Amino acid sequence: MSSQLDFEFLIDTFFVALSGVPIALLITVVAMTIALPLGFLLALTRINRLPILSQFSSVYVSFVRGTPVIVQIFIIYNSVPILLEEIFQKYDVGMKVYDVNPIWYAFIVFSLNTTAILIEVFRSAISTVSKGQLEAAMAVGLTTLQAFRRIIIPQTLVVALPNICTATVNLIKATSLGYAMSLHEITLRAQVAANPGYNYVEAYIDIFLVYLIICSLVEFLFKLYEKRLSKYKLVIA
Amino acid sequence: MMLQIKNIHKSFGKNQILKGVDVQIQKGDVTVILGPSGSGKTTFLRCINFLERADEGEIKVDNIETSFNKARKKDILAIRKKTAFVFQNYSLFNNKTALGNVTEGLVVGRKIPKAKAIEIGKQALDKVGLSDKYDAYPSQLSGGQQQRVGIARAIAVNPDIILFDEPTSALDPELVGEVLEVMRTLANEGKTMLVVTHEMSFARDVANKVIFMDDGVIVEEGTPDEIFAAPKEVRTQQFLKRILRD
């Protein structure tokens, strides 16, 4: 093992790590696309205390929040294949469980995980929008759906956005745990590159930098969006 | 008959708030509901617009007739489109400009083309004296200005009747006048109004009918002269004595 950093390896591996970015972002986008509407709807069930669904959301949130993501990954990654195998056999699907791309398991784990986080984010955000806003929308002749689309959701979003940003950044970082399902994302790619020459320090620096760059970029984009959405709040009388 | 309410009942849990109230309002009437707090005035108003669901009773607005407990979504939406509501705390849409607040019910609720809606909306804002505030957000407006936008939002949809729920109660004293002035103008133009208020001067000068409510029932009703100069019921006399002394 050399005591000096191998700069050539550092630079080469940076691009190797970078090549894992599309996978990390794909998982993030898929998980968010599923979790945003689902989290919002389940948050509504909690606020309106809908029977069954509300209790379900509450228990669901506790389960997800009370367990480490890595454990959730192990559970899904080890249990879903068994389930799939039975289904494949029963319906005679000519496909082997081990042919299934691990990214599908990642979609499942991270969607479930992010949904739980967003339920809580939306629950607090929705409750900051006063009941009067919905009543006023009803009074001017909007349907409930129109009222939500035009009045409630835009205001909820402004309040929720900083927390959605945090959830997104956490999600991007959490995709690094995908290595545990042999998912070829940022972390695993750099680590594999480091294996032959034991250049782990260089590889970890690269991984560190790649996550830092993506997450900062995402934060910046969220800030821009937040500024645009909340223009009605920034104005001073 | 513009609005007819028969035998309306409403309870919150064990608390019976409305115990059989009947009201009839003709086109062009300005009716003021007076009464101590907790008498059910606001609940009554909110039930008309189905912001609260009354337990019992019938409602007729223009040609729509239904009962409170059986009214379906379609009836409720139809009644809401024929009425307008001015809230005590304004309840302007925070994410919309003054003009956006006024046009929302036109464009989204009534499918009026946007250009036409903007024209109507600007006229409504002009009428309440806010020609220079079309693009202001609620957070940029004073309480009095916000409530005038609230009134513009109500008149823009050209409702059969406007319901006012204590429109000046949340205002600083020096801002009450500008809102009452707008309401006075609307009354003079023949708009049908049902107003819950503590503004005795408005009731006396502008209303053509005054209803005194207490404990979920109508205690007494009549012209302002009858109610203010010669109240028949003891409860009305006591209430007026308390209020007018201040």
pLDDT at position B244 is 81
Q: Do the domain assignments include residue A2? A: no
Q: Do A237 and B141 touch (CB under 8 A)?
A: yes
Minimal CA separation from B238 to chain A, in Å:
33
C-alpha–C-alpha distance, residues B34 and B212, integer Å: 5
Q: Which residues of A touch B (CB under 8 A)?
A: 130, 132-133, 135-143, 146, 150-151, 154-155, 158, 232-233, 235-237
Q: Do the domain assignments include residue A162? A: yes
Q: Do B140 and A151 touch (CB under 8 A)?
A: no
Q: Do the domain assignments include residue A1? A: no
Q: Which residues are CB-neighbours of B186 under 8 A, at least 6 positions away?
A: B151, B155, B162, B193
Residue given tokens 């496909």 in the structure block: A95
Ranges of residues in chain B with a pLDDT under 50 are: none
Q: Do the domain assignments include residue A139? A: yes
Best residue of A134, A140, A230, A231 to probe chain B, by most B CBs closer than 10 Å? A140
Q: Do B87 and A135 touch (CB under 8 A)?
A: yes
Q: Do the domain assignments include residue A153? A: yes
C-alpha–C-alpha distance, residues A182 and A179, integer Å: 5
Q: Do the domain assignments include residue A51? A: yes
Locate the DSSP E strands across B46-95: 56-61, 64-67, 83-86
pLDDT at position B11 is 95
pLDDT digits (tens, 9 = 90+) for B214-242: 999 999 999 999 999 999 999 999 999 98
The CATH code of the domain that includes A69 is 1.10.3720.10
**Total tally of structural domains belonging to chain A:** 1
CB < 8 Å to B138, chain A: 232
pLDDT digits (tens, 9 = 90+) for A108-130: 999 999 999 999 999 999 999 99
pLDDT at position B231 is 92
pLDDT at position A233 is 77
Cα angle A172, A164, A234 (rounded to 5 degrees) comes to: 135
B209 closest CA partner among B225, B198, B191 = B225
- What is the side-by-side strand order in the sheet with B15-25? B15-25, B3-12, B56-61, B64-67
Walk along chain A (237 residues) in steps of 10 and give the mean pLDDT of each run: 77 92 96 96 92 94 94 92 87 80 93 96 94 95 94 94 96 94 90 90 93 96 90 65
pLDDT at position A157 is 92
Residue given tokens 């040609």 in the structure block: B63
- Give the count of Cβ contacts less than 8 A between chain A and B: 78
Q: CB of B34 within 8 A of CB of B44? A: no
- Alpha-carbon distances, residue A13 vs A6, A20, A166, B165, B222 (angstroms): 10, 11, 28, 68, 88
DSSP per-residue codes, A24-54: HHHHHHHHHHHHHHHHHHHHHHHHTT-TTHH
pLDDT at position A237 is 42
Which ipTM was obtained for this model?
Answer: 0.91
C-alpha–C-alpha distance, residues A112 and B152, integer Å: 46
C-alpha–C-alpha distance, residues A9 and A197, integer Å: 10
- Alpha-carbon distances, residue B108 vs A149, B116, B146 (angstroms): 11, 13, 21
Q: Do the domain assignments include residue A176? A: yes
Q: Which residue of B has its CA nearest to A129?
A: B94
This prediction's pTM = 0.85
pLDDT digits (tens, 9 = 90+) for B167-194: 999 999 999 999 999 999 999 999 999 9
- Give me the domain span that covers residue A131: 7-236
